[in-house]
Amino acid sequence: MALSRQAASLLSSGSRRAHAFTSIHPAAAPVAFSRRLLSSLPRPHATPTTTTNTLKINNQLAPLSKAYSRSLFSSSSTLRMAHMVEGCPPLRLLLIGSPGAGKGTQSGRIQNNFEVSSISSGDLLRKNIAQGTDIGKRAAKEMKNGAFVSDEVIVKLIDSELGKLGAEQGWLLDGFPRTMTQAQTLDHTLDSLNQPLNLVIHLNVPEEVILQRIMDRWVHIPSGRVYNMTYNPPKHAGLDDVTGEPLERRPDDNPETFKIRLQKHHELTEPLLDYYKNKNILVSLAGNTSDEIYPQIRELLQTRFKPEESPSEVEGQGQA
């Protein structure tokens, strides 16, 4: 699919200016960097914020297992809901979305609020590059150019991470699978473990706002923590909130490479939406920012993860 006109114009107008700033050391002044860059880029058009409502989600989830779908949105019978949630398998979630859609940010928030482990293919690859492993050496060039790392390499990497998790452990995948071969291989592995994916959340963010977010992004490579200088800045400019270590710009976060990453996403990853839709486990959540989308994710996951409220609290909520 071709880039939208707005995104294409953002990409071309942002490229020269972005280059002028990417050489600034992250620890020097990321906020100043971000402000200057932002003021140099055209503002995205206003777009509707949240287009997916509960009813729509409910419809999409209807074919899910009865226990799961009823437990998520049945507001009038929450005691029964609690009972139903008990029987649910651990969350096995995939976050899918274009580059810059906020997969890393949402993954961090989900981990902070729910008991799930996260496996991020991008973070794993960046760690391997930083450590100079064979996988890192094989992946570095593709990543720098915005291409995909080979299915073989990435499948091996993720398989080994999945193998470290227990059957009762809830987890989420961020950035994997992103080709049909990867999706089918993952299904095969999970089916053989009798632990199939039970939810796929599509982060649906308009292309017009994504480039701006990418140019505003700083990361703590060892942990994968992501900061956005406008929406989610670190407490101290240029430093990770937890370790105090310097934040970095990703080498592939520039307009040229981003354009390739976006094209790869349209071409190779978007077909997975239909694949998971046909399996009745896809929910698409729309918004311009992670702050708009996260409450929808929380609502979706909350009922499932907090079944142990006292009966009075639970009934009160049910009547609200």
Applying CB under 6 A, the span of 32-40, 49-57, 86-94, 96-104 interacting with ligand ADP comes to: 96-104
* Nearest 10 degrees: Cα torsion 212, 218, 221, 223: -100
State the Cα–Cα distance between residues 5 and 2, nearest whole angstrom. Answer: 9
Which contiguous run of DSSP H or E holds residue 145? helix 134-145
Contact 254, 15 (CB under 8 A): yes
Angle between helices 5-22 and 207-215 (to 10 degrees): 0
State in angstroms the smallest separation of the CB of 147 from ligand ADP: 6
Residue 226 among known ligand-binding residues: yes
Peptide bond into 233 cis (omega under 30): no
Residue 306 annotated among the catalytic residues of the structure: no
Give the residue, chosen from 154, 215, 272, 283, that forms a contact with ligand ADP under the rule CB under 6 A.
154
- How many CA atoms does the CB half-sphere of 158 hold within 13 Å? 28
State the Cα–Cα distance between residues 302 and 261, nearest whole angstrom. Answer: 32
Give the residue, chosen from 109, 178, 202, 304, that forms a contact with ligand ADP under the rule CB under 6 A.
178
Could you say whether residue 176 binds ligand ADP (CB under 6 A)? Answer: yes
Residue 103 among known ligand-binding residues: yes
CA neighbor of 320 nearest in space, from 76, 114, 33, 117 = 76
Q: What angle do CA 317, 50, 309 make, to 5 degrees?
A: 20
State in angstroms the smallest separation of the CB of 126 from ligand ADP: 7
State in angstroms the smallest separation of the CB of 17 from ligand ADP: 21
State in angstroms the smallest separation of the CB of 309 from ligand ADP: 35
Q: Name the residue nearer to ligand ADP (CB basis): 33 or 176.
A: 176
Residue 261 annotated among the catalytic residues of the structure: yes
Residue 92 annotated among the catalytic residues of the structure: no
Give the residue, chosen from 90, 99, 206, 287, that forms a contact with ligand ADP under the rule CB under 6 A.
99
State the Cα–Cα distance between residues 7 and 206, nearest whole angstrom. Answer: 9
Residue 238 among known ligand-binding residues: no
Residues 6+ apart with CB under 8 A from 313: none
CA neighbor of 125 nearest in space, from 97, 104, 111 = 104
State in angstroms the smallest separation of the CB of 149 from ligand ADP: 4
Residue 259 annotated among the catalytic residues of the structure: no
Residue 224 among known ligand-binding residues: no
Contact 253, 30 (CB under 8 A): no
CA neighbor of 97 nearest in space, from 251, 227, 276 = 276
Residue 104 among known ligand-binding residues: yes
**Catalytic residue (choose from 103, 213, 225, 259):** 103
**Catalytic residue (choose from 178, 213, 259, 304):** 178
DSSP state of 232: B
Residue 178 annotated among the catalytic residues of the structure: yes
> What residues numbered 225-284 form the site for ligand ADP, per CB under 6 A?
252, 261
- What's phi and psi for 240, nearest 5 deg? -65, 135
Q: Name the residue nearer to ligand ADP (CB basis): 78 or 182.
A: 182
DSSP state of 63: T
Could you say whether residue 175 binds ligand ADP (CB under 6 A)? Answer: yes
**Catalytic residue (choose from 217, 225, 249, 259):** 217
**Catalytic residue (choose from 70, 92, 249, 261):** 261
Residue appearing with tokens 């114009």: 9
Residue nearest to ligand ADP (CB): 122
Residue 16 among known ligand-binding residues: no
Give the residue, chosen from 14, 30, 90, 122, that forms a contact with ligand ADP under the rule CB under 6 A.
122
Q: Enumerate the known binding-site residues.
A: 100-105, 121, 126, 175-178, 182, 217, 226-227, 250, 261, 290
Residues in touch with ligand ADP (CB under 6 A): 99-100, 103, 121-122, 125, 142-143, 146-149, 154, 175-178, 182, 252, 261
Catalytic residue ranges: 103, 178, 217, 250, 261
